[in-house]
Chains A and B, each alone.
Chain A
Amino acid sequence: MAAWDLTVTVEELGPEAPPLKVSVTSDLHIGGVILKIVEKTQMKKDWSDHALWWEQKKQWVLRAGWTLDKCGIHADARLNFMPQHKPLRLGLPNGATVRLKASFSAPVFRCVMGICRILNIRHPEELSLLRPMEEKKKKKDKSQEEVYELTDALPNAASMLTLSNGMPAHFAQSAEHEAVYKMLSISQPAPAPETIAKTYRPSNVVEKAEVNGRWLDSSRSLLQQEINENDKLLIRFKYYSFYEIEPKHDAVRLTQLYEQARWAILLEEIDCTEEEMMLFAALQYHIGKVSLTEPQIASCPAMDDLDSALQCLELKLDEEGSSGADMLETMTPAPELHDYLKIFRPKRLTLKGYKQFWFTFKDTSISYYKSKEESFREPIQQMNLKGCEVTPDVSIAGQKFCIKLLIPEPDGMNEVYLRCENEQQYSKWMAACRLASKGKTLADTSYSSEVESIESFLAMQRTNPGTASAQTDESINTHSLVSPRYQKKYKPKQLTPRILESYQNVAQLSLTEAIQKFLQIWQALPDFGVSYFVVRFKGGRKDEVLGIANNRLIRIDLSVGDVVKTWRYNTMRQWNVNWDIRQVAIEFNGNVNIAFSCVTADCKIVHEYIGGYIFMSTRSKAPTDTLNEELFHKLTGGHEAL
């Protein structure tokens, strides 16, 4: 068979070097070609990761056993000989950028699996890659963004599970890697309010739909989709169906998921009510605060609980050791609070204003007397706070420390304001009221931490609202915790008491609990998990919106935003894509047929979304940990499927 010259550019020789000419015959298999190329370069190195890229056809030539003939490669082909794994800048959900080596030759689905292995995120099928928004040129002036290097991290199958120093083994190799792991697994401090305000956020459903046009195709490789070495891509949770989150193994996954959720809230990608926003803000504040103190690495909540329980026990044992009998005594005298406070009861139309009395707080009740000297007598009034509502009414600037109590009584709520002199006094009484409202007494172990958390939250107000500082130990601008809409609506001063109110309900949560709570509330939002696409229904005259969620498709009126119709997957018989006219057709039970073409995204993306969710729903049945890649591609691949 006649020999001919194959033109191959070898990346390692540099961009200037002329392409190599390798003499081949058509029945030479690819493996042989590669061997010849390597010989010709006369370079000694590990070539195992290299493969041939066929420039004109935009495809990889990966089957080493196939002959050139079978691959259809002739003398006019220009091939590139290059490594399959190249550095990629990856934007994480938390906003940080990490550089790591990703496969440019494998389908994106598998590429993401590799990335997730490096990042230590389980269930990579839930994530995918997204092209970033076109960045404006002027941003180049800014100093290079910080990039975390992870290109030399080489995880192997075992290292994800073997913990060394509380982190996957491949992160424990160097201090830099440890820093990266810390970044990955600990939530980022609250961003400055300006950052939130400046960051792009979709203002309507069409803009939300546009985001979804940027997903990469899971069944093709990065290079095929014109992603080059060192390009930036975003990695995000794509399918809102999170399988088996275990805080113990999912430190990075949980943190990144939280970050994605938090940004979705802050950037108003998902709508929530004011009450919900305040709770999200309180949780963010709490998570930020606890992340600073709680060493998260290697901590598993169960262990912590056990530890503290043991410590607590030891303590008690020590006490008890000397004389067991006095244990009773040490427990019986319930702690009490006594002080002069001012009280105001709006209900009674007496003189408006606060009157001072001597107050005692015992068990779950507040009693007050004319003066300290009278305190052995019958109190003027006793109020049991169990089940009451406690609301702070605080302004540090105005030196106002009030506790508003709504005490339930058979004929309604009894409204009472207590005014304290200063922060310390306020924190103590407030904490006591909080506990009492839940039926706990001052003896409860959580009392001191409750006092502490109130104090630290008050500290927030002390910071000058003018300075927009990111979160530090104590101070935080409450504008960093809410979306721009609420930044505009309220001043930081006004936000503080509102957030404080919600904060009371979450202040006792551990870091993991708080993150999980955040995710729960996020997932309970009515619009959660819906990805939007602008589509044109067959026979329809105008664009409409199709929402794809983990269990249903939603047809939404574009102008009004109302849900027109919902179809659930379990009533779906089949769906097809007509690749020629780029139309998705779906048949449901009861002979319901719909068809639409996609406006803001390629129909492959829509197809992949639907197939992807169906794939996600099959997971629970498979007990094994291995991912059924083939099934995924079957469901999402379309006509190019493997």
Chain B
Amino acid sequence: MNYSIGFTDLNASLHELEDNDLDALMADLVADLNATEEKLAAESKDHPSSSSSSSSGSSLPTPTVNNFGFPSPTVAPAFTTTSISMPAPAPAPAPPPAPAPAPAPALAPALAPAPGGPKGSISPPPPSQTSKLSKEEMEAQTKADKIKLALEKLKEAKVKKLVVKVEMSNGSSKTLMVDERQTVRDVLDNLFEKTHCDCNVDWCLCETNPDLQIERGFEDHENMVEPLSAWTRDSENRVLFQERKDKYAVFKNPQNFYLWKKDKNTLKDMKDKEKEMLLEENFCGTSIIVPDLEGLLHLKEDGKRSWKPRYFLLRASGMYYVPKGKTKTSRDLVCMVQFDNVNVYYAKDYKNKYKAPTDYCFILKHPQIQKESQYIKYLCCDDKWTMTLWVTGIRIAKYGMALYDNYKTAVQKTTASTSWTDRINSNASTPSPTLKAKAANGHAPKPAQDTASKGLSNQPAFPPPPPATEILPPPPPDPVLPPPPPPAMFSKGPLPPPPPAMFSKGPLPPPPPAMFPKGPLPPPPPPSSMGGCFPPPPMDDLPPPPPPDNDDSETPPDFLPPPPPAMGFPSSLPRGGALPPPPPDPVPPPPACPSGGPLPPPPPPPPPPPAPAPAAAAATRPTVRKSGPPPPKRTTPVAAAPSGGDFMNELMLAMQKKRTQP
């Protein structure tokens, strides 16, 4: 199956979106927003930034904040969960102490155009660090943590995001928000959840350029946004989501690449052990060994029209050829290109386009070059296998160890996801995600499929609505697997926005959240306020969706929180926050996770509050996470920073437009 992700430009892509895409995206966004804000609240709580931390208090009960384990004064009205109004990260200027209802969200001032709303309130004096307990180390630690957090926030503020439309080969589509810190691996994981493909290691995101008739599979460790940013505004480039056997072929059958000179037949029945040995030899030493490729290729370069045969050699340092009349000793070789600044692409149908001797061509070019240029090196091989050899060899030379690491990660993911699918399968309420992706795509009518996958994808993204959870059987204790998605979700499909209930759950104070639930339906709120609503998502949930794994593990129910109003939290918290999966912490989650607030107390098998939500009481976050199923997946990508504000506006406008001109 081919999902293709079309991407052009934020604006353009938004306008091109289908209604339902927009809705879905919107829903995602809002949910994420919610989550993010909660998280932020938590963060800022963790982080009573020496100065400003404070808060615009709110009508909500104020959980007492215990600063870094100090028996510190409970900072009274400070830090309620109303982070919405005070998403300002640490460095924000001190807000007034007033428990202002903060109708309009304040933005971290430096980070984005401040919305009209009152800026946060000035905060009470910084929580005394001088507490008796304070050992210097601890102080240093906390300070360090704070700084780190602050820096992260700042970074966050500048995060760039792209909207990417995902289409399948059958015409259906998905829309992703990709933020610039996400790697291709992250995006793949995301797609694995949104589609129910078999998640094998060959799945690949691949970029095509119709102008040049080329395509290239992104490497898993690559940054996703970067290559996409190189596309021109009017680009017709696409990103495909497809299985590519050549992606990791070298690790499955290293002998074909490293012993390519040998007889094909002997290579065929190479034993696994020997393959392992080859891998070890070439990838596990102090230095990566590049396959010793050499042979005659045809080169078209420097804008010339003709293809010249040359004898090429691949070395770790670059691609060389033997000049006329010379031998192939190292000293005589001429370097055609080194790989630091170029990528390698498969080319299609160059016999027609450039009168190439065969159709098995590849090119080397700077990723930013999008059109025909003399700076592109065009190469033509005699047969397909030679082409695969060279392209793979060049990838090894260019990426080295990273490639092997990618593969190992991919294999891990596959095994993990297999168990996930199995698990889902056992659950009746889920719509057969075990269907092989191919089949599903091939035959399922688009909407149905969309729905199904949406549902799947939503599951992580949205905290399950409370009612749904009540209906559901308690999540099985299996730590690895997320609880089955509530059926309700599925039925809803991509169309309706998430139930408002969800929002109320959040620690949001009534006024601003109100806007959100409505979000997709009524006219969008004034842009300014909207913009304000996007606090930079905290760094820690970055590697986006922490996959449902054992972190949120054992005995979720046990952790279910007798809500102690306050608790000392591990001093390491802020740091922990920066790490993707919170360390399993046996501490019972304290103040009824924010969700507890407006919601009915969670049932024993707790409907997981959105992970970030626990934020409410900073201290509790890690524990809470554990207590529930996986945290919302899509928080980060979507939560737009200051720029996000603009994005939201655009999104809203686009939607409005669509609606008005059916």
Contacts and interface: CB of A to CB of B under 8 A. Distances in A.
A409 B147 contact: no
A413 B90 CA distance: 43
A325 B51 contact: yes
A520 B287 contact: yes
A569 to B, nearest CB: 10
Contacts of A332: 110
A393 to B, nearest CB: 18
B373 A411 contact: yes
B320 A273 contact: yes
Contact of B338 (A275, A325, A519, A521): A275
B341 interface: yes
Contacts of B52: 324-325
Interface string A508-532: 0000000010011111111100000
B405 to A, nearest CB: 16
Interface in B265-290: 266, 274, 277, 281, 285-290
Interface of B: 49-52, 90-94, 110, 126, 140, 143-144, 146-147, 150, 154, 230, 232, 261, 266, 274, 277, 281, 285-290, 292, 315-318, 320, 327, 329-331, 333, 335, 338, 340-341, 366-375
Interface in A536-586: 551, 561, 566, 570
Nearest to A275: B335
A485 B50 contact: no
B123 to A, nearest CB: 10
24 contacts: A245-B286, A272-B331, A275-B317, A313-B140, A324-B49, A324-B51, A325-B91, A325-B93, A325-B94, A328-B91, A389-B341, A409-B369, A410-B370, A410-B371, A411-B373, A412-B374, A412-B375, A521-B287, A523-B289, A526-B292, A526-B315, A561-B327, A570-B274, A590-B266
B370 A411 contact: yes
Nearest to B290: A524
Contacts of A316: 147
The B contact surface, by secondary structure, is loop
Contacts of B50: 320, 324
A331 interface: yes
A242 interface: yes
Nearest to A485: B331
A323 to B, nearest CB: 7
Interface of A: 242, 245, 271-276, 279, 313, 316-317, 320, 323-325, 327-329, 331-332, 387, 389, 408-413, 485, 505, 516, 519-527, 551, 561, 566, 570, 590
A520 B51 CA distance: 49
B368 A410 contact: yes
Contacts of A525: 315-316, 330
- 9 nearest CB pairs, A to B: A412-B373, A408-B368, A271-B330, A324-B50, A410-B370, A524-B316, A324-B51, A520-B287, A328-B91
A320 B90 CA distance: 12
B287 A272 contact: no
Given A245-B286, A271-B329, A313-B144, A408 B369 contact: yes
Contact of B367 (A245, A279, A320, A387): A387
A551 B274 CA distance: 12
B287 A527 contact: no
A410 B232 contact: yes
Given A245-B286, A324-B52, A324-B126, A273 B331 contact: yes
B106 to A, nearest CB: 14
A519 B286 CA distance: 8
A524 B317 CA distance: 9
B286 A273 contact: no
Nearest to A328: B91
A255 B292 CA distance: 29
A466 B277 CA distance: 52
The A contact surface, by secondary structure, is mixed
Contacts of B367: 387, 408
A327 B150 contact: yes
A410 B373 CA distance: 9
Contacts of A590: 266
A275 B329 contact: no
A507 to B, nearest CB: 15
A521 B371 contact: no
A588 B621 CA distance: 62
Given A273-B331, A570-B277, A324 B91 contact: yes
Given A485-B331, A551-B281, A409 B368 contact: yes
A320 B366 contact: no
Contacts of A271: 329-331
Contacts of A551: 281
A502 to B, nearest CB: 10
A328 B51 CA distance: 12
From B93, B144, B261, name the one whose CB has the most chain A CB atoms within 10 angstroms.
B144
Contacts of A328: 91-92, 110, 154
A405 B366 CA distance: 14
Nearest to B317: A276
B317 A273 contact: yes
B52 to A, nearest CB: 6
A13 to B, nearest CB: 52
Nearest to B93: A325
Contacts of A505: 340
Contacts of B289: 523-524
A276 B288 CA distance: 16
B166 to A, nearest CB: 24
Given A242-B286, A324-B90, A273 B330 contact: yes
A525 B290 CA distance: 9
B320 A521 contact: no
From A324, A331, A524, name the one whose CB has the most chain B CB atoms within 10 angstroms.
A324
A250 to B, nearest CB: 12
A387 B232 CA distance: 16
A323 B287 contact: no
A165 B609 CA distance: 55
Nearest to B294: A526
A485 B332 CA distance: 11
A273 B335 contact: yes
A387 B366 contact: yes
A245 B285 CA distance: 10
Contacts of A331: 154
B91 A412 contact: no
From A331, A413, A505, A527, name the one whose CB has the most chain B CB atoms within 10 angstroms.
A413
Nearest to A524: B316
Nearest to B318: A275
